[in-house]
Amino acid sequence: MKNRFLPSVIAAACSLMSLVTTVNASPAEFTLTTTVFAILPEVSHGDSAVITLLADNGSASLLNQTWQASDVISVTFDFNNGAHFTVFAGPTVEQPWVSSLGTFSTDGVGALLTVPSNWSGGTTEALYTNSTQTPTAWYLSEYNDKYYTNGGAAGFDPANYSILVSSWSVSAAAVPEPSAFAALAGLSALTLVSLRRKPRADRAG
């Protein structure tokens, strides 16, 4: 049986990874909302798609800021209001992205000035998914906005929507009070346990 709370746990754990290293920083959340042209389980053509990138450049402000691909903590694809939900990690030494061209940047009032022209995870392992299929790759670029599993793919309508500044919104991710760090640490531990037990639970189900 799938754990319906796990997506929230994953998100909290991703936030903690940034917060424990830069306590005075405030991660930024970049969100794109569109519709799907898809061949995926749990998702039909015309369903909603919300793509969210959580990034931390070390600043507590959204004003006059720039975020590079290396600042990204997580990339989330949410199809059909959670029916198909996947979280990928930001780029790492072990799993670098295939492309990191461009940046998110804001002006003096916090409005977006630029968005990436090609941020693509390529073939990468997901941190979490609630799908019956295995996510295998994602691309947000001027050439191709796509999300792939081992049995299907999702495009977005309109195509190449991600390269338009007007497609994205930016906001400060919620930062907990110091007293909440212990709770977040507990959630992170729960995430690891849940992910490790997931195959066993699937077999048992």
What integer pLDDT is reported at residue 42 of this predicted model? 87
**DSSP letters for 41-87:** TTB-TT-EEEEEEEE--S-S--TT-EE-GGGEEEEEEEETTTTEEEE
Q: How many domains does the chain have?
A: 1
- As a whole number of angstroms, the distance between CA 10 and CA 2 comes to 14
Q: How far is CA 145 from the centre of its chain?
A: 14
In a domain, 131, yes or no: yes
Residue 58 belongs to what domain range? 6-204
What integer pLDDT is reported at residue 37 of this predicted model? 86
> Would you give per-residue pLDDT tens digits along the chain (205 residues)?
444 545 545 554 554 454 444 445 689 999 999 999 877 888 888 999 999 999 999 999 999 999 999 999 999 999 999 999 999 999 998 889 999 999 999 999 999 999 999 999 988 889 999 999 999 999 998 877 899 999 899 998 877 789 999 999 999 987 555 444 445 455 555 554 554 454 544 444 4
What are φ and ψ of residue 76, in 5° steps? -115, 135
- As a whole number of angstroms, the distance between CA 25 and CA 149 comes to 34
Location of structure tokens 């796990």: 6
In a domain, 1, yes or no: no
What integer pLDDT is reported at residue 123 of this predicted model? 85
What integer pLDDT is reported at residue 136 of this predicted model? 93
What integer pLDDT is reported at residue 19 of this predicted model? 43
Produce one character per residue of 126-156: b if its CB has 16 or more CB atoms within 10 Å, e if not: bbbbbbebebbbbbbbeeebbbbbeebebbb
For residue 181, the surrounding DSSP H or E stretch is helix 181-204
